[in-house]
Amino acid sequence: MNVSRYLKNIILIELFVPVLLLTIGIYHGLMQVIYRAGVIHQASVAKLDYYQGLTLHGVINAIVLTTFFAVAFGHATIAFFLKREPGRKASLLSLLLMVTGTLMAAAAMLSGKASVLYTFYPPLKAHPAFYIGTAMLIVGSWVAYWDWSVIYVRWKREHKEENTPLAVIGTLVNFTIWFVCTLAVAYEVLVLLVPWSLGWTTGINVMLARTLFWFFGHALVYFWLLPAYIMFYTMLPKLAGGKLYSGTAGRIAFFLFLLFSIPIGVHHQFGEPSIGRGVKLTQSLLTFAVAIPSFITAFTIAASLEHAAWLRGGRGLYSWIWKLPFFRKDVFLFGYLINGLILFIFGGLTGLVNASYSLNNTVHNTSFIPGHFHLTVAGPVFLAILGMSIFLVSQLTGKKIYLPAINTIIPYLWTVGVLIFSTGLMWGGLMGEPRRTNMGLTYLNPASELYHSYWVISSMLGLAGGGIMFAAGFLYFIVFFGTFLRKRSAAPMIDFPVSESLHEEKRIPLFDTFRPWLVVMGFIIFMAYLPAISDALNNTGKKAPPYLPTDPTPIVTKKP
């Protein structure tokens, strides 16, 4: 499909801005493992504090990169599958809001005035520019979503008896989840955090703010993940040389994510005494329920890949796997997606630990937690972003992939690094190793009274894995920017490798309309979060003053 110059430039900018910032994010990821392994026994390097770097790493990689990519990929999928480009004014407004907001938040973080680790997590307090900037980034993504929704409604009026393309269903489900979950954090920012940050209020209801944050915080994971799921269903079988085993299974999975992605955030608050046991039990069960669409996906994609391998001559219970095109340069995207799926198997299994109240208490606030979420965020999410960003840049510029052999190696190198890194962190977490902490100052500093020698091996594994991940990221930057700087050899276009369905499937209206799912979604969220919000409002103490991550005393204390 040919694309207008305008849309091409919008998508390329939405890819380049986060990838440029990603150089900072990956650098600080490496610095984190160096600090934590005890290689550095100080609080800062090159005038960048440890917690400042931790914030930059988390916000750039988990918020900025993922949001920009989701919008860019959404523009491409809507235009390609519906044959209608997003509106110029809406896409430009969306881009301007996201870029402006990102620059505001970046300025606050780089100046050391927003070292808050989590984006909106009091009592750590950031500069107002950080909160306002991240809010603008989110609102910019809303604008794109509203524009796509209008395009979809108009398309549907003209194609009433035609199945909506699966990629479009996935995109709209993803941004519906995103829009609903960010409403809570918008309230937190505008009503609680910004007045507190500006000094208009002296304290904040930490429990309410955290509950609103986690209403957004865990649904955010699925906002990261669903673009990868769209690629798994609509592209991976084609890249493997086969067909999608069931498109209906994909529709069911996407709509189940719509139901269960949001009302499970309280499982991040199992350690909060203000939240009642009944609320925790309910949301624990709902967290297990959200594993259902992932299991559906696992079986559907596995069947699709096996079918593709059999078409290539594969036979046997497991030997068919080796017929898949793991290192073929012409379908390099397969390597990125299949490695993401492999990592997600381990990420999903370790995630079930966090869903269990008793098991979560064992690993709560230990390094097991970042070990788990790097298997998901740095697994299918990050690899899908890396692979698709190279694919889109190549297609939209009409340029061939730079160093194609290296490009096929990157996802495998990254996967090895993530497995080693996460193993080290989870092993250390089971031995009580804390998360977020600069252990080079204390626990892994032989000169400190707090030195713990039994965390040396696990942290060194984390360092080794982090080093391999950094090397893979460096190679990615070479391929990404090298591709962009090559001479053009073809016309700019978007041509996704679309998977056909193996079986002829009739249109089922229930799985081709949003209205009933939105009604059920609203009901489940209301029933799950009304008691949680009530607990947060009623079972809380005095409002908390702001803190810094490096100091256990409040920044401002009220006189008795």
Q: What is the residue-wise DSSP string for 261-302?
A: SSTTGGGGGTT-TTS-HHHHHHHHHHHHHTHHHHHHHHHHHH
Q: Which of 68, 436, 511, 514 is catalytic?
A: 436
Q: Which of 260, 267, 374, 496 is catalytic?
A: 374
Q: Which two tokens stand for residue 457?
A: 């091996």
Dihedral angle, C-alpha 343, 257, 144, 127, nearest 10 °: -70
125: left (phi over 0), alpha (psi -120 to 50) or beta: beta
Q: Which of 57, 127, 307, 372 is catalytic?
A: 372
Strands 44-45 and 48-49: antiparallel
Q: d(Cα 384, Cα 401) in Å, to the nearest integer? A: 17
For the chain, give percent helix, strand, coil, nearest 5.
70, 5, 25
State the greatest distance between any 2 C-alpha atoms of the chain, in Å, as a whole number.
79
Q: Which of 81, 120, 222, 229 is catalytic?
A: 222
- Catalytic residue status for 436: yes
Q: Which of 69, 435, 443, 476 is catalytic?
A: 435
Q: Which of 218, 267, 268, 307 is catalytic?
A: 218
- Catalytic residue status for 452: no
**DSSP category for residue 551:** B
Q: Which two tokens stand for residue 244?
A: 């999608």
Asked if 152 contacts 207 with a C-beta cutoff of 8 angstroms, the reply is no
Q: d(Cα 266, Cα 218) in Å, to the nearest integer? A: 9
Candidates 214, 227, 382, 332; CA nearest to 283 is: 214
Asked if 500 contacts 242 with a C-beta cutoff of 8 angstroms, the reply is no
- Catalytic residue status for 374: yes
- Catalytic residue status for 372: yes
Asked if 272 contacts 217 with a C-beta cutoff of 8 angstroms, the reply is no
Q: What angle do CA 387, 389, 390 make, to 5 degrees?
A: 70
Q: Which two tokens stand for residue 135?
A: 């809010």
Angle between helices 277-289 and 515-538 (to 10 degrees): 150
- Catalytic residue status for 127: no
- Catalytic residue status for 218: yes
Q: d(Cα 133, Cα 137) in Å, to the nearest integer? A: 6
Number of residues in the chain? 560
Helix then strand count (H, E) for the chain reads 20, 2
Asked if 342 contacts 298 with a C-beta cutoff of 8 angstroms, the reply is no
- Known catalytic residues are 218, 222, 372-374, 435-436
